[in-house]
Amino acid sequence: MTAATELDTLIGRKWRKPPFIKRAWLRWMLTIGGLAYLVAAFATLEVNWSRVYEGLDRGAAFIMAFMEPDFVSRWGDIRDGMVESLVMTVGASVVGIAISIPIGLGAARNIAPLPVYVICRGIVAVSRALQEIIVAILLVAIFGFGPLAGFLTLSFATIGFLSKLLAEDIEAMDRSQGEAIRATGARWLQWINYGVQPQVMPRLIGLSMYRIDINFRESAILGLVGAGGIGATLNTAFDRYEFDTAAAILLMIIVIVMALEYLSGIIRARMQ
């Protein structure tokens, strides 16, 4: 059948999106298998409905606490926790970003020799392999409770996050600008400064601001395992069933994260 004949036969027919799996029997088998798996998975769940029922009142009280958040009763604890989280976030971000830059340069295959590349990629892999909570638990066991464990955890996580993205950005950069600088006889540091840095700096600043945002939110989580910050205050509020104080803390976290997002947008816009 020629193309024109095929077109003539198709004119006037309603177009239908072709199925993702063309074979109908295979499509039905996968659908039935998926439903059977879901039924079997739900059947293995052990849900204590009496505890669920008892928790409804507590959940309702927590939701209602957002209507009347209490910023006053535990203001001293909230203030100290927030200050500790902010100090921990800023300090860990600055240290993490400062360490990430040389590691990111070493992890970029197009500018680093193979031994340096392997070592830096290994550091990035180890940093990214361990989740923040696991690192915090280990560091709390080593250094004890307090913001030092949180500071080290956030710095460690920042290195893995920022180094990987920075290295990928360097590997994807335009080589012509770097080659032009190198053709002038520039040394390695001059080549990095004038050929590489201008291309990745806006991206680096944007990622750094994003990482500060992440670190602040993570600082609230790390406090739950004793690594300092507002998370410890939040955990205490939950333990005491002071849902109005917990609501106040959560609202403050949301406001600060939104403020950081707004500030990040302004900085990125000015850099571009």
Note the pLDDT tens digit of each residue in 165-204: 888 888 888 888 778 887 887 888 888 888 888 888 888 8
Nearest to 84 by CA among 208, 234, 207: 234
The secondary structure of 179-206 as a DSSP string is HHHHHTT--HHHHIIIIIHHHHHHHHHH
pLDDT of residue 7: 60
pLDDT of residue 236: 84
Q: pLDDT by residue (tens digit) across 112-156?
A: 888 999 999 999 888 888 888 888 888 888 888 888 888 899 899
For the cut 60, the answer to whether the pLDDT of residue 4 exceeds it is: no
For the chain, domains (ranges, CATH) are: 63-270 (1.10.3720.10)
Mean pLDDT of the chain: 83
Element (H, E) at 248: helix 243-271
Stated pTM of the model: 0.73
d(CA 155, CA 94): 8
Contact status, residue 181 vs residue 155, Cβ threshold 8 Å = no
| pLDDT > 90: percent of the chain | 8
| Cβ contacts of 221 within 8 Å, gap of 6 or more | 132, 133, 231
Relative orientation angle of helices 197-222 and 243-271, to the nearest 10 degrees: 180
